[in-house]
Chain A
Amino acid sequence: MKSLGSAHRVLMAGALLFYQAAFAHGPVFDCYIESDDQVKCETGFTDGSSAAGRKIHVRDMSNKVLLEGVVGKDNTYTFQPPTGNYSVVFLGGEGHETTIQSSDISR
């Protein structure tokens, strides 16, 4: 009874290696400002599958890519925010692109 969710997640993760595109899941994405003024973004999917290896763009208001990063194994990506307004885009796969504006990022 200790961990009802863990076994399920391991099975899901294994399955996702092969069938990731076929699963009906939605992306989830949020960013906040860490104590050292870095911006930390968390990513994932509603079925609990990992976003590791997916790309994240930091873009200016003309949509120019200022930074491109890769989501780590812990489903996070941390960056030094640019000056001025910007957006952060999680490229979670086809139909799974999610954007957060810098005005919505706080501590």
Chain B
Amino acid sequence: MTFNRRLLRALAAATFSCLTGAAQAHFQMLYVEETALQRAQDLEFALVFTHPFSGGPTLVMEPPRAFSHISSHGGEKIDLRKYLRPVQWQSRENRATAYRASIPRELVRSMGDHIFVLEPEPYLETEEDVYIQQFTKLIVNVGGVPGHWAESQGLPVEIQPLNKPYANWTGGVFRAVVLADGKPVPFAEVEIEYLNHAVDFENNAFGQQAHVTAPQPAFNTLSTYSDAQGIVTIGLPRAGWWGIAALDIGSTKTHKGKPLSQDAVLWVQARDMK
């Protein structure tokens, strides 16, 4: 499955590259503007299934199966689905259904770590005839009090951070453990993409200008593997958002009679030293 998906992706990427000069990877975005907050504030989320480096195309999202907040105090899990509203997200290439959520300050006003988890409905990638389901995590910190950022959330597939995802300097190194059913996954295929376009909340769109230009399509999506202990290490060469996705590591391998790739995604924010 992994090899087949990789091969199909490579072929698709090669075909696409011939046309546009860009290789692509699907990434479930779970975006807020800032993850290290001095004080709690209302949080505006964008949930977009897309290609972050190229800023599109964006893929149609069905209503998520779960969108949860694990509080900084006691780990209470709150269902956030009532805050979701569908929008048509304008990528650099198309428009497709995505979701926005306005989370009130009252839910996140406690100091410490607030963990947000998105379990999307599997997406049928018709070119590969496989379903993709990316369990996605984002961690927001209020006030600088360390919390439960390093703890597993018990997801079927998950990236468990070994560094605080919200406190990283540009040029630093970020480490995490790839987990499936709570156990490290050795030599998991991992893709990394930089969010290369501004997120325009007002227009539900990606900004027109790319922040950086890749010298060659292989730079759009960086690839690596977790090590023998399931640990993945990445660099953060530029301020902004970095998405990490561990591919096809779940134990559930089929959905509606077709192959299913359960991927784990974690978003990491880097800040310049200035």
Contact = CB atoms under 8 A, between A and B. Distances in A.
A4 B159 CA distance: 13
Interface string A32-49: 100000000010111110
B111 interface: yes
Nearest to B158: A1
**Interface residues of chain A: helix, strand, loop or mixed (majority):** mixed
A75 B124 CA distance: 47
Interface residues of A, number: 18
Interface string B136-167: 00000011111111111000000010100000
Contacts of A4: 150-151, 160, 162
Contact of B151 (A2, A26, A48): A2
A1 B39 contact: no
A57 B124 CA distance: 58
A5 interface: yes
Contact of A44 (B105, B145, B177): B145
B149 A2 contact: no
A1 B182 contact: yes
A48 B147 CA distance: 7
B94 to A, nearest CB: 39
B41 to A, nearest CB: 10
B52 interface: no
B151 A3 contact: yes
Given A26-B144, A28-B143, A5 B111 contact: no
A93 to B, nearest CB: 16
A41 to B, nearest CB: 10
Contacts of B146: 5, 46-48
Contacts of A48: 145-147
Contacts of A32: 40, 109
A107 interface: yes
Given A1-B182, A46-B146, A107-B105, 13 more contacts: A1-B177, A1-B179, A1-B183, A3-B151, A6-B151, A28-B111, A28-B145, A30-B39, A32-B109, A42-B110, A44-B112, A44-B143, A46-B145
16 contacts: A1-B177, A4-B151, A4-B160, A6-B151, A28-B111, A30-B39, A30-B111, A30-B143, A42-B110, A42-B111, A42-B143, A46-B145, A46-B146, A47-B146, A48-B146, A107-B105
